[in-house]
Chains A and B, each alone.
Chain A
């Protein structure tokens, strides 16, 4: 399929021929080629980018995945893996010349082992379903992306997803033991192990966050943790954003690692409050949500300590949730922040840079300036504890030129994150969306090294081509464009 096809007819013939090959072993309804069947797959959570795939495969067994990849490999057809399609960077964006391989039917929890505290699940299982299945044993799966009712564990592994509790409990990569993958050649590999480590290179780390570029994940063994005896959240309101930033540093500086430590700015507070009535103070410039968990005694001790720290650092109001219902309500506002913003603006564009926390006030100020410059409002939601920013740029795709302005603005936010010592993506991945900014974060030999790593897994470059790691040619083009527009502020910055 890498040769150019002379016409639509040739393309259709080729598609039919391939579909015939797949139908030999795929479930009857597992090969989709008709336009109306393909449409639901044309985008992931980043809906500004859409493409119709050549065809969609819906395998039900590992053997079918293996055979499908063998065919793709032999026929040189690119493959884009897809979990639940909630990704925010276009990682699962299809290609017209590629098969979209959906893992949605792999939705079984294979085994829960309460003594070893692990769950073995298929990749299409929803994140939240794991914790639900583990709940009878007093256990849960810690990483909790806000999309957890919908996103798949396979997609979580492929993106190294985080959540509001990863400050204390880590990202996906910290909560995995073993994955089973199929290479582009159709070979099955077991990566990691049932113990706490495995011999050889740490391929589990390499596969985690690899955005479907190295192999297709067909089984995942995750760690389960005991449910804390008690969890309590404190809400603090601030009149100035810098005060909230300083309060975060003070809590961490006092040797406390909260289970979650989140910040929202005024536009985000108002949008969330209108949507879920969480009880947020709509007049505050910023709020912090600080959750403490552990044994009953620990939490009592920590709540008192944190309350004092927040007051000392200028909180105008501090309130600890009185019961679990109130705690759930306070978190509901935060977890619904994206859709809440979706209600107040025709479209929004979610960024995902991470910065050293000390740079928070500076970065928010610069974002504010750029917001005025581009005439596009921004609401900020922030995993404050670990420096992961989610500025949401509000725009209207129906206004000509607004999407382009938004993308440029977003790109500059990411470059700002790199400039202050951070990174262009904390948890949403590069996908197609941040591919240009990869050229800002990494130098040429570093990208060459990434391509060499990729080739060790997928020598012909058939898995998810065009995502995650830019070609050098693309960076050259992007660099030229930027220098031409005079917008790349520090081309030679240190990137460590």
Chain B
């Protein structure tokens, strides 16, 4: 199959030179793609370092199920190209704005409603090209499905929020769009919804999303025409005609639940965990594994509730962006994170503080 490429702009060298200068002068940088997910994570310190100009799909062969694009490529553009070839990004990355770039999506490592059934952003990353904190231009992984040569630095970059390197290029596994998709709605209460979603997931049904919002259980089925029809019979409920829009609005946090300024918590737990006794409004996505909570609950209470069932809680939006936005790491893990940060970015210049709080003054590298 012909490789499809999009015009773009190769600014890799310019970025490397700019980073080199910053490294020489020890200037901390805030890496900015489209700026659509700037709200996420801890507040970064540093001079703005814009990377969106480095854009364009460099290689796409649909029968290989692999696309390689520069990190500044707008997510919209990339998804449109894939759609034109009957394919998609299976992890349904949230955009949170029209300016969203591929690099930002991978650096944040966020995934949409299909995640529990298809996999997360990290599951589809095959290789990356990046600049480390010494401004060296490095490759890792590749553009083949299976590759165990060297440590998996490509996946390490996913969700690292740019603290380990500036992404320049990403190769992703893509998947065919399902022939048929259908959304069903059922009325139920939270505990039953959790049970139901997990019982379905334990059966061979073509599930591709399951969410509980406003006393309603939403289920998406994806597959062949007859496969979806048969699964529909066994699940029941009513068809939601505008199913696509519902899942997109959920992914983009445009449902009424997400409106307003109250802090938004993302609570990641084993999917069948019982509903937490914390007050506040809840929306359960990912078949119960990703739970959104709105309200001014004390940070410690949310963290305890998540940890009690083996999960963790992220202050996704709002609240104190200089505090512990992410669930605090055990001391041994935190120390390892700091050593890793130093291994990739010895001077601590890339998105300092965005992922972890700075180490105490005597402790060396800041992150």
**Chain A interface (Cβ < 8 Å from any Cβ of B):** 113-118, 137-139, 159-160, 162, 166-167, 170-171, 173-174, 183, 187-191, 193-203, 205-206, 208-210, 214, 226-229, 249-250, 252-253, 255-257, 294-298, 300-302, 354-358, 383, 386-388, 421-430, 434, 438, 441-443, 445-446, 449-450, 452-457, 468-469, 495-496
Contacts and interface: CB of A to CB of B under 8 A. Distances in A.
B116 A196 contact: yes
B158 A202 contact: yes
B71 to A, nearest CB: 13
Nearest to A424: B149
Nearest to A137: B202
Interface stretch (B26-34, B43-51, B122-130): B122-130
Given A116-B272, A388-B145, A446 B140 contact: yes
Give the 5 A-B residue pairs with the shortest CB-CB distance, closest first: A194-B310, A298-B227, A255-B176, A205-B155, A426-B146
17 contacts: A115-B195, A116-B270, A162-B146, A173-B155, A196-B115, A197-B159, A200-B355, A201-B164, A202-B156, A209-B151, A252-B64, A294-B224, A358-B1, A383-B146, A426-B147, A449-B136, A455-B343
B172 interface: no
A448 B127 CA distance: 18
Contacts, number: 284
A166 B330 contact: no
A202 B127 contact: no
A189 B339 CA distance: 15
Q: Which of A187, A189, A193, A427 gathers most chain B CB within 10 Å?
A: A193
B152 interface: yes
B268 A138 contact: no
Contacts of B224: 294, 297-298, 301-302
B138 A205 contact: no
Interface in B88-124: 109, 115-116, 119-120, 122-123
A354 B202 contact: no
A206 B152 contact: yes
B204 interface: yes
Contacts of A162: 146
B139 interface: yes
A179 to B, nearest CB: 13
A206 B151 contact: yes
B329 to A, nearest CB: 5
A117 B202 contact: yes
Contact of B330 (A117, A190, A196, A468): A190
B271 interface: yes
B343 A356 contact: no
Contacts of A468: 150
Given A253-B1, A255-B179, A449-B344, 12 more contacts: A191-B333, A195-B310, A201-B164, A206-B152, A209-B152, A226-B201, A301-B225, A430-B149, A442-B149, A446-B139, A449-B153, A453-B343
Contacts of B332: 183, 187-189
Nearest to B289: A196
Interface string B48-88: 00000000000001111110100000000000000000110
Contacts of B299: none
A295 B231 contact: yes
Given A200-B337, A387-B145, A469-B150, A256 B268 contact: no
Contacts of A450: 150-151, 153
A423 B144 contact: yes
Contacts of B68: 496
